[in-house]
């Protein structure tokens, strides 16, 4: 941090400034004040710096603070750097948004033959940003086609997940989620600076070449902004997502001696570490164990590292010596113990991009699962947004975890607490999306009627009424060991 003090100083500002200096935060001002030197605090020793020229003052501040901004060469009209990755674009500052709960959208990367695509070709099919009203939501399909001698379909999810990072690097652009659950905002300032939809293509072409040049030779990007195209292409993308998920079927945590870390979200949640195992994917839903392994193959020094499980400390809760040692280090000593299968005892931390929140409903001796898209009330008395802010940020919050949707269907889903049988409530939409797979899992655990016993918002969003309903239908959670 640094302070820019412009155009005047009164008693309050002087006192605040004194506090800033004491905290080691330099002040850069256009006022004619005596320069103050506090040894050992700021990059250039002086901590109150004069710079009367407003054109130079920000650069001066960056230097005084010792901030290194590395700009990649990306041909877009807004600044582009990793420094902007954690930036949010709030609703009042948004010119246009895509996806989220507001419009259909997806992002999908696929491998093509070399002669099938043209390197650097960027097309926008449908309206450009100039035809989009301030405050509006539009559909968006981002299709990236890549080719390369070393490119294999195994790498597709890894490259695809970089879209999140790269688009966030642009100042005034916000990206969240992945696959067909992404959400993008372009700020009014970015629009004013001349940012167009096609610039997403410029970013993706430049960065994929820059960071994955060893794998991809050609990159072509097509941006679809008309609803009819996005809806036409969604099934193909969804089919690819489903077949990626299916590759893991049958793999177990016991069968491997190595899990993988993911620390890609440390730009938002600096101490957060996802531990990805064959039976528990990353909480954003984008990284399976196979994906993390492929990412490590591509970039051995990147955000996905192999973690040897080491000695088993608790097979039921999922505690391994090697995992804890890794997490302690990667969380900068914030978290020294995690369980992979428990929600109550030292659960895994969450960043902010979980697909669902699993939260304890103490009255019902069970848990509810709430997906990001659900905006209504829940039996815990909190909506998703409130739940998300208490779960996220890289903290350990017993009773609450962020998870990827597919983890709900895993045999290891909160298995320390009895697994799927604990689920007493979830929004109708999520229940229906899991549909037959949820029914199959219920049958597998000897609870064929569980699907109908799990309440949703059409039954109730009130904890007391929920307990009555669970008793009426004979939900197994009521007769399980106490959760708390
Ligand atoms: Fe990686 Fe986890 Fe972030 Fe997904 S949520 S990108 S798995 S750190
Ligand atoms: Zn995240």
Q: Residue whose CA is closest, atom 1 of ligand 1? A: 262
Q: Which of 5-14, 153-162, 264-273, 460-469 has the highest mean pLDDT?
A: 460-469
Q: How many Å lie between the centroid of ligand 1 and the Cα of residue 469? A: 36
Largest CA distance in the chain: 77
Q: Which ligand is nearest to the CA of 284?
A: 1
Residue 69 has pLDDT above 70, yes or no: no
Minimum mean pLDDT among 61-65, 401-405, 417-421, 447-451: which range?
A: 61-65
Q: Which ligand is nearest to the CA of 353?
A: 2
380 within ligand 1 shell (Cβ under 6 A) = no
* % the chain with pLDDT above 90: 73
How far apart, in Å, are the Cα atoms of 270 and each of 154, 226, 295, 330, 395? 28, 37, 20, 9, 10
Are 339 and 318 spatial neighbours (Cβ–Cβ below 8 Å)? yes
Distance CA 389, CA 393 (A): 8
Average pLDDT over residues 5-15: 90
Q: How many Å lie between the centroid of ligand 1 and the Cα of residue 430? A: 21
Q: How many Å lie between the centroid of ligand 1 and the Cα of residue 359? A: 20
pLDDT digits (tens, 9 = 90+) for 203-252: 999 999 888 888 888 899 999 999 999 999 999 999 999 998 888 888 99
Question: What pLDDT is attached to residue 70?
Answer: 47
Residue 41 has pLDDT above 70, yes or no: no
Please classify residue 375 by burial: count the beta carbons closer than 10 Å to its beta carbon, then call 0-12 exposed, 13-18 middle and 19+ buried: exposed
Question: What pLDDT is attached to residue 448?
Answer: 94
Q: Which ligand is nearest to the CA of 282?
A: 1
> For every residue of 79-123, which 3-state class applies, written as one string?
CECHHHCCCCCCHHHEEEEEECCCCCEEEEEEECCHHHCCCCCEE
Q: How many Å lie between the centroid of ligand 2 and the Cα of residue 40? A: 35
Question: What pLDDT is attached to residue 279?
Answer: 96
Bigger pLDDT: 229 vs 22: 229
Question: What pLDDT is attached to residue 331?
Answer: 96
Question: What pLDDT is attached to residue 472?
Answer: 97
Q: How confident is the model at residue 58 (pLDDT cuts 50, 70, 90)?
A: confident
190 within ligand 1 shell (Cβ under 6 A) = no
Question: What pLDDT is attached to residue 440?
Answer: 95
pLDDT digits (tens, 9 = 90+) for 159-191: 998 999 999 999 999 998 899 999 999 999 999
The number of the ligand 1 atom at minimal distance from the alpha carbon of 276 is 7
Please classify residue 163 by burial: count the beta carbons closer than 10 Å to its beta carbon, then call 0-12 exposed, 13-18 middle and 19+ buried: buried
The number of the ligand 1 atom at minimal distance from the alpha carbon of 292 is 7
Distance CA 4, CA 49 (A): 10
Residue 42 has pLDDT above 70, yes or no: no
Residues contacting residue 104 through CB under 8 Å, at least 6 positions apart: 139, 180, 227, 230, 231, 234
Distance CA 466, CA 47 (A): 59
- Which 3 state secondary structure label does DSSP give 219? strand
Token pair for 49: 């710096």
- Which 3 state secondary structure label does DSSP give 7? coil
Average pLDDT over residues 435-463: 96
Are 2 and 28 spatial neighbours (Cβ–Cβ below 8 Å)? yes
Which among 314, 305, 386 has a CA at the least distance from the CA of 346? 314
403 within ligand 1 shell (Cβ under 6 A) = no
Q: Residue whose CA is closest, atom 7 of ligand 1? A: 282
- Tell whether the torsion through CA atoms of 97, 103, 108 and 113 is positive or negative: negative
Which among 397, 400, 395, 396 has a CA at the least distance from the CA of 384? 400
Q: How confident is the model at residue 145 (pLDDT cuts 50, 70, 90)?
A: very high
Question: What pLDDT is attached to residue 438?
Answer: 96
Residues contacting residue 302 through CB under 8 Å, at least 6 positions apart: 295, 296
Residue 33 has pLDDT above 70, yes or no: yes
Distance CA 210, CA 71 (A): 13
Minimum mean pLDDT among 41-55, 141-155, 318-332, 451-465: which range?
A: 41-55
Residue 474 has pLDDT above 80, yes or no: yes
Q: Which DSSP helix (H) or strand (E) runs through 319?
A: strand 319-320
The residue behind tokens 């610039």 is 199
Q: How many Å lie between the centroid of ligand 1 and the Cα of residue 330? A: 14
Average pLDDT over residues 93-106: 96
Which among 309, 279, 308, 275 has a CA at the least distance from the CA of 292? 275
Q: How confident is the model at residue 55 (pLDDT cuts 50, 70, 90)?
A: confident
CA angle 88, 82, 386 (to 5 degrees): 30
pLDDT digits (tens, 9 = 90+) for 268-314: 899 999 999 999 999 998 889 999 998 998 889 999 999 999 999 99
Q: How confident is the model at residue 45 (pLDDT cuts 50, 70, 90)?
A: low
Question: What pLDDT is attached to residue 60?
Answer: 79
Distance CA 378, CA 367 (A): 11
Q: Residue whose CA is closest, atom 3 of ligand 1? A: 265
204: left (phi over 0), alpha (psi -120 to 50) or beta: alpha
Question: What pLDDT is attached to residue 382?
Answer: 94
Distance CA 210, CA 341 (A): 38
Whole-number average pLDDT of the chain: 92
132 within ligand 1 shell (Cβ under 6 A) = no
407 within ligand 1 shell (Cβ under 6 A) = no
Token pair for 343: 């929600």
282 within ligand 1 shell (Cβ under 6 A) = yes
Are 95 and 187 spatial neighbours (Cβ–Cβ below 8 Å)? yes
Q: Across the beta sheet with 218-224, what order do the strands follow?
A: 105-111, 140-147, 218-224, 122-125
């Amino acid at each position: 941090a640094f302070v820019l003090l412009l155009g005047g100083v009164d008693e309050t500002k002087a006192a605040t400034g004194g506090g800033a200096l004491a905290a080691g935060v330099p002040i850069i001002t256009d006022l004619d004040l005596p320069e103050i030197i506090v040894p050992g605090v700021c990059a250039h020793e002086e901590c109150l710096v004069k710079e009367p020229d407003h054109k130079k003052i920000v650069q001066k501040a960056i230097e005084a603070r010792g901030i290194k901004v590395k700009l990649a060469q990306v041909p877009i009209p807004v600044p582009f750097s990793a420094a902007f990755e954690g930036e949010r674009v709030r609703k009042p500052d948004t010119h246009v948004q895509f996806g989220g709960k507001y419009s259909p959208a997806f992002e999908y990367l696929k491998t093509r033959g070399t002669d099938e695509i043209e390197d650097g070709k960027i097309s926008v099919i449908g309206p450009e940003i100039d035809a989009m009203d301030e405050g509006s939501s539009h559909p968006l399909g981002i299709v990236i086609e890549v080719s390369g001698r070393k490119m294999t379909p195994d790498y597709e999810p890894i490259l695809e997940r970089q879209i999140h990072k790269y688009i966030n690097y642009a100042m005034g652009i916000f990206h969240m989620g992945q696959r067909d659950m992404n959400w993008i905002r372009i700020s009014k300032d970015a629009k004013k600076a001349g940012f167009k939809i096609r610039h997403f293509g410029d970013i993706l072409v430049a960065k994929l070449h820059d960071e994955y040049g060893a794998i991809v030779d050609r990159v072509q990007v097509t941006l679809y902004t008309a609803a009819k195209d996005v809806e036409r292409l969604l099934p193909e993308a969804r089919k690819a997502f489903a077949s990626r998920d299916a590759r893991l079927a049958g793999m177990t945590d016991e069968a491997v001696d190595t899990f993988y870390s993911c620390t890609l979200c440390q730009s938002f949640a600096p101490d957060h570490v996802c531990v990805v195992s064959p039976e528990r994917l990353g909480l954003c839903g984008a990284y399976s164990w196979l994906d993390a392994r492929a990412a490590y193959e591509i970039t051995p020094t990147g955000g996905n590292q192999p973690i040897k499980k080491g000695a088993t400390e608790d097979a039921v809760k999922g505690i391994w010596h090697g995992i804890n040692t890794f997490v302690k280090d990667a969380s900068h000593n914030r978290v020294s113990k995690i369980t992979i299968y428990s929600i109550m005892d030292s659960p895994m931390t969450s960043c902010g991009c979980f697909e669902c929140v699993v939260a304890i409903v103490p009255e019902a001796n069970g848990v509810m699962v709430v997906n990001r898209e659900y905006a209504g009330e829940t039996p815990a008395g909190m909506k998703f947004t409130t739940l998300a802010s208490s779960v996220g940020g890289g903290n350990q919050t017993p009773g609450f975890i962020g998870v990827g949707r597919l983890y709900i269907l895993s045999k290891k889903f909160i298995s320390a607490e009895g697994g799927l049988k604990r689920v007493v409530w979830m929004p109708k939409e999520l229940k229906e999306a899991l549909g037959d797979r949820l029914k199959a899992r219920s049958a597998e655990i000897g609870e064929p009627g569980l699907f109908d016993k799990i309440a949703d918002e059409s039954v109730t969003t009130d904890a007391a009424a929920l307990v009555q309903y669970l008793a009426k239908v004979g939900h197994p959670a009521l007769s399980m060991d106490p959760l708390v």
